Structure 1
Amino acid sequence: MELAGEWINESKVTPDIEIMSPTWKAYKNVSVTDFGAQAEGKRCNGAAFQRAIEYCKHEGISELVVPKGLYYFSDGNHPTFDGLSDFRFDGGGSEFIFSSVKAFFVIQHCARSEFRNFTVDWDWECGPLASIGIVREVAGDGRYVDLAFPEYEAVPDAFPLRTFNAMNPATLTPGCELGREFNGIQIGETSSMGGNVVRVELPTPESFRFLKRGQAYIVRHYIYDANAIELHGNAHLTLSNLTIYSAPGHAFVSTGDQHHWKLERCRIVKRPGTTRCITATADGCHISNSQGYFIIEHCDFSYNGDDCLNIHDNSVHGFQRIDAWTIRLNRVHAWRNPFGPGDPIEFRHADLSPTGIAAPVAAVQWDEERQQCVIEFASELPVGLAEQSILFNRRYDSGHYIVRYNFFHQNRARGILLHAGDGLVEHNHFYMNQGSAIQIECGAEARWAEGFGIRNLVIRDNQIESSDVNHWNMAVIYMGVYLDQGRTNYPIFEDVRIENNTIVNCPQLAIYVSSCERVILRNNVLLNPNAGPLKTEQDGDDNCVANRDYYHGSLMASHCNEVYIENNRRLSLIPTLESHIYIEPNTSRNVALRDNIGFANESR
């Protein structure tokens, strides 16, 4: 078949995103010190900062400045910027230290605003966010494990063990080859053995046979508890030259009617001069149920407890019909599934294909305790609508984005997790991401239901090194669905171009694409792909998609139509396990291969 050529229009995949700056008829600024803020000692500055913010809002002040210093926020009174327009906050290179489990900064309903030049951090003297744990001993019968915590002479009094994430003891980075992780729900009682050693009871020893003396873990004490900077419903917002050393949750969060915003030259990095093993205990930047149109460029995201960047909107899998107009949803939360009157709801089949049915919401009643809500629609639902349908709330679309010139590295999960389209991902550097460097995904099951599919996406000119450390998804660039039924032939991913990327040292596949249509893999260079040991059934399913024997080759396509694979080059300087392009014969249609170099074969 003929190759696709330029069937993706460049103007479609490079969003036209312009972020407006503040405009002032007459510039006027004030300082937080005018309202009682002090950088001396550990006194709380929350009330003083809030007085300054409210004054700026009501008096139409152009800029709030902070003299350079170290400012503490110790009583839970944290800055909230609400409803400011044509406004700038300049931190002056200051550091802001927080010790209460509450969002550090909240910026909401602001327009044409800028926030710049400051650092935020958690006060680790009030309690560590995570600690390095080393397996010192495993009981002969497997009923307990002793963990030593070398950062302490004696473990702190408050020391919850929330998750145990595999760590490379040589590089002190998240993940290690075939590493397994587990969480606090799986363990039993913990007790101090004196000094820095904690004994952890293991109620199901057969589940922990992978534990061996000397293994290292990042033990998180916080996960999704409080975010550093929350962004809600802003328009034309710029955050620049911000540093986040740590937070007990996500670093940046964007939700709601947020649109046209930018992160530039922002860093999520470990504080120098510390033994810390984590920055933000969750995602570096978490974007969900928003209006999209954002730019992230020249940023550095590292050592996150989850994905560096996660872009998605939430769906719901399954419902119970109450009557012709009303349904009940289970396993939902108002913050995760923000249904509201007027929201247009699209119903999809269980394989993600369209049903052709959509209806606007008339009313919603929430029962948060039972994780349920009842939705009444403004129009009658067809009798034959299956209760296993997947619901997309089309009020939200977190797509239309540019992600470029960033460094995503040494984090626990994926570099970038993409559930939304109309995007451009270019000139980024990915290094030692525990999961895939770039994961393109959509799905719905009991645990997660995220993404409405992707259309129009370009991934180009990126450098990817030593990622998929734990063999999470069997490919460093991974495109797939998760559904109760498994793969789907419906092309939920359309018009995707992956080109001119360099991928170095990946343990299994370099690129895997599925459930897609009109995809180009072109001019990519693969250096030492398939260089890790094959993961077997004995290694378990943790952090890895099921049916690992299903994956073959260095490049693979399945459940697809119109895939074009051309001018890719594979070069191995060390022995590797596989060296071919694999097209799954029973689920793939119209796949073209041309001028690929260094592959053993192009099998079908």
Structure 2
Amino acid sequence: MTEAGRKDMTEALENADTTQSVDTGVHRLTEMEIVIEEPNWSNYSSISVANFGARAEEGYCNGEAFQRAIDYCKQANVAELTVPAGVYHFYEGRHPVFEGLQDFQFDGGESEFIFSTVSAYFVIKYCTRAIFKNFTLDWNWARDQLASIGQVQEVATDRSYIDLHFPEYETLPEKLDIRTFNAMDPRTLSPGCSLGREFGHDQLGTAVLKDRNTLRISLPEAKREFFHFLQREQTYIVRHYIYDANAFELHGNQHLQMQHVTIYSAPGHGFVTTGDQHHWALERCRIVKRPGTTRCISVTADGCHISNSQGYFRIENCDFSYNGDDCLNIHDNSVQGFVRVDDRTIQLSRVQRWRNPFGKDDAIEFRLADLSPAGLTVPIESVDWEEEQQRCTVVFQEPLPADLSNQAILFNRRYDSGHYIVRNNFFHHNRARGILLHSSHGLVENNHFLMNQGSAIQIECGAESRWAEGFGVEHVIIRNNLIDSSDVNHWNMAVIYMGVYLEQGRTLFPIFQNITIESNTIVNCPQQAMYMSSCNHIVIRSNAILNDNAGPIKTEQDGDANCVANRSSYQGSLMVSHGRDIEISGNRRLSTLPATDSGIYIEPLTSSNVTLTGNVGFQ
């Protein structure tokens, strides 16, 4: 994108929204209404996919017929493409691609679309003022299951093997690709169980068929101590796919609406949003298990994954459940560490073009290893990729200072997935977090979180060898949400968790600022209700907390299997560490169960200017 084009887009983003200032008592936040433009149908016309040979017949591949219909709509400027009610199959990887359509509507007519090939179901890119509505997507489970229920039937006394039973199968298929074992409750068959452990296939030995639906899996001698927790009747979601193919890939669209769309399953994320996409909405969309099945998963990764985009979106009145990862993940990608080639050139490792889409003229802000600003932002001149080596060489338009640390963190400021409204949604029974927030300027209100394996809301930023996501979070309101029975696996010590992940640990730099958490109800959490760190100007007020810290205390024996070790470092119902200028007021705590802790704990060495007023029920 040219500099002039970027300026025009920025002005459009700023002018398209109305804002109202909200007084929080400590700081002022901005509450947005994000306006999505409707299609301009001055020359309305409609056509059916049936006119191009689409048929609701099993065994018939509709890929070519749908694509002919889509291409005709673009060429003839047809306003609406409709689908007669039915079940349509797609084979051979020929899946619909909607590209460059304007003032357009796709009405699925309450049809179902069933896919059998590992590639994105629907690709929607560079469309403007478009609506997609009234249809369901699913994977062909009769051909290949995305995940299976596995239950430990026997553990060898010397832990040299386990017998894993698959009750859904009469006979196991010859090829069963086992990727991960994710703990599930054996009674409710929902993701997560108290202190449940996860592990991957790379930690296991060989697997042989013991009987028609049971595998005997050997455990390498070096790993047997790790598997001390294994015992009979433990039950797992055994994923056969994870990040293989997404249901929707949304790239570079403007003023896009997805309405009344259901995803029963996909071998990857549900919705993925990337690129110069802005002003878009999910309204009354669902990611749920197909009724009448024994499935243990819907999509095998995130419900909605937003990264390296231009933000300005709404997600309202949606139902996301049984995802293999987070229900909603909002972030942009960073990278830490480089090798200097010359004064304008660096080489980056552990990068991928799709995850770190560096391009000419992108403004790169350098941060120090503790996430504090280095005071340097430089545009890119060129990028040379070596994708197989996950490496690239970046040439900048200006010299870099000689004293710039090679452990600096790079933020690509071309992207900002912030400015969002997440309202009136149901996030439940998923493997990881309800919402993972890495982006700024948001309103999260009136949502219901139920039995999420991890935190209901996790506010995060960090960089390490595995992940590098987020540019910090500022100006967010989290209010009027109901959080029930989340953090099932003792995932991150709190159902509302705010923290960084860095090789050196916590940082005093306030990467999270101006955030209000108010009038939420938190019920039945095994550990803390809230943990706040690396922050300033935070308001926590008028929240109700019932039966927090009601689970067993995590011990050193549990290790870091659920992301956070050192249980003794986390104290109280509410805790502040590495924070300043924080108001905690008018919160009420009530317990009808024994609690392992019930106070408000301010870490004294790293926190300052924390005011406590009118809180009831805390020791």
The interval holding the TM-score normalised by the smaller chain is: over 0.9
* 213, 232, 257: which one aligns with 2:251: 232
Give the corresponding residue for 1:386: 405
Distance 1:7 1:63 in 2: 49
Stretches of structure 1 that go unaligned for 5 or more consecutive residues are none
Q: Is the 8 A contact 1:415 1:438 kept in 2?
A: yes
Report the residue type matching 2:165 in the other structure. Answer: A
Distance 2:58 2:375 in 1: 62
Secondary structure in 1 matching 2:294 = coil
Q: Is the 8 A contact 2:579 2:608 kept in 1?
A: yes
- Once superposed, what is the RMSD of the aligned Cα atoms? 0.8
Secondary structure in 2 matching 1:435 = coil
Range with bigger deviation, 16-25 or 562-571:
16-25
Give the corresponding residue for 2:226: 207
* 572, 597, 601: which one aligns with 2:591: 572
* 331, 334, 343: which one aligns with 1:312: 331
Q: Is the 8 A contact 1:445 1:482 kept in 2?
A: yes
Give the corresponding residue for 2:178: 161
Report the residue type matching 1:206 in the other structure. Answer: E
Q: Deviations over 1:494-543 (max 9, x none)?
A: 00000000000000100110000100000000000000001001112112
State the 1:473 CA deviation: 0.5
Secondary structure in 2 matching 1:564 = strand
Distance 1:101 1:540 in 2: 36
Give the corresponding residue for 1:91: 108
Give the corresponding residue for 1:138: 155
Q: Is the 8 A contact 2:180 2:201 kept in 1?
A: yes
Give the corresponding residue for 1:266: 285
Residue 31, structure 1, aligned to residue 48, structure 2: yes
Residue 373, structure 1, aligned to residue 392, structure 2: yes
Q: How does 1:462-541 map to 2 (within 5 A)?
A: 462-541=481-560
Secondary structure in 2 matching 1:360 = strand
Residue 186, structure 1, aligned to residue 203, structure 2: yes
Distance 2:252 2:536 in 1: 34
State the 1:7 CA deviation: 4.0
After TM superposition, the score normalised by the length of structure 1 is 0.98
State the 1:42 CA deviation: 2.2
State the 1:287 CA deviation: 0.2
Report the residue type matching 1:552 in the other structure. Answer: Q
Secondary structure in 2 matching 1:56 = helix
Residue 437, structure 1, aligned to residue 471, structure 2: no
Q: Deviations over 1:215-244 (max 9, x none)?
A: 000000000000001100000000000000
Q: Deviations over 1:167-210 (max 9, x none)?
A: 00011100000000100111121111121101111112111111
* 175, 181, 191: which one aligns with 2:192: 175
Report the residue type matching 1:571 in the other structure. Answer: L
Give the corresponding residue for 1:547: 566
Distance 1:529 1:293 in 2: 35
Q: Deviations over 1:13-72 (max 9, x none)?
A: x22310001111121000000000001232000000000000000000000000000000
* 40, 63, 88: which one aligns with 1:71: 88
Q: Is the 8 A contact 1:474 1:544 kept in 2?
A: no
Distance 1:589 1:313 in 2: 30
Give the corresponding residue for 2:341: 322
Distance 2:233 2:138 in 1: 31
Q: Is the 8 A contact 1:166 1:218 kept in 2?
A: yes
Secondary structure in 2 matching 1:174 = coil
Q: Is the 8 A contact 1:409 1:431 kept in 2?
A: yes
Residue 458, structure 1, aligned to residue 473, structure 2: no
Give the corresponding residue for 1:121: 138
Distance 2:475 2:517 in 1: 11
Report the residue type matching 2:157 in the other structure. Answer: G
Q: Is the 8 A contact 2:556 2:565 kept in 1?
A: no
Distance 1:251 1:340 in 2: 27
Residue 6, structure 1, aligned to residue 59, structure 2: no
* 60, 64, 68: which one aligns with 1:51: 68
Q: Is the 8 A contact 1:127 1:158 kept in 2?
A: no
Aligned length: 595
Report the residue type matching 2:154 in the other structure. Answer: E
Q: Is the 8 A contact 2:26 2:583 kept in 1?
A: no
* 362, 366, 383: which one aligns with 2:381: 362
Give the corresponding residue for 2:418: 399
Distance 1:501 1:338 in 2: 37
* 436, 444, 449: which one aligns with 1:417: 436
Distance 1:476 1:297 in 2: 21
Report the residue type matching 2:462 in the other structure. Answer: G
Q: Is the 8 A contact 1:8 1:456 kept in 2?
A: no
After TM superposition, the score normalised by the length of structure 2 is 0.95
Secondary structure in 2 matching 1:57 = helix
Distance 1:367 1:221 in 2: 29
Q: Deviations over 1:144-185 (max 9, x none)?
A: 111000001111122111000000001110000000010011
Q: Is the 8 A contact 2:26 2:539 kept in 1?
A: no
Distance 1:281 1:512 in 2: 28
Distance 1:546 1:112 in 2: 48
Stretches of structure 2 that go unaligned for 5 or more consecutive residues are 1-22
Distance 1:355 1:148 in 2: 54
Q: Deviations over 1:326-365 (max 9, x none)?
A: 0000000000000000000000000000010111000000
Secondary structure in 2 matching 1:170 = coil
Q: Is the 8 A contact 2:462 2:470 kept in 1?
A: yes
Report the residue type matching 2:135 in the other structure. Answer: F
Q: Deviations over 1:535-587 (max 9, x none)?
A: 00111211232332210000010100101000000000111111110000000
Give the corresponding residue for 1:147: 164
Give the corresponding residue for 2:78: 61
Report the residue type matching 1:395 in the other structure. Answer: R
Q: Deviations over 1:262-308 (max 9, x none)?
A: 00000000001100000000000000000000000000000000000
Q: Is the 8 A contact 2:366 2:376 kept in 1?
A: yes
Secondary structure in 2 matching 1:124 = coil
Report the residue type matching 2:95 in the other structure. Answer: H
Residue 344, structure 1, aligned to residue 363, structure 2: yes
* 388, 408, 413: which one aligns with 2:427: 408
Distance 1:302 1:41 in 2: 28
Q: Is the 8 A contact 2:24 2:516 kept in 1?
A: no
Secondary structure in 2 matching 1:591 = strand
Report the residue type matching 1:416 in the other structure. Answer: I
Distance 1:122 1:415 in 2: 23
Give the corresponding residue for 1:111: 128
Identity %: 65
Residue 219, structure 1, aligned to residue 238, structure 2: yes
Report the residue type matching 1:302 in the other structure. Answer: S
Stretches of 4+ moved more than 6 A in 1?
none
Distance 1:132 1:32 in 2: 38
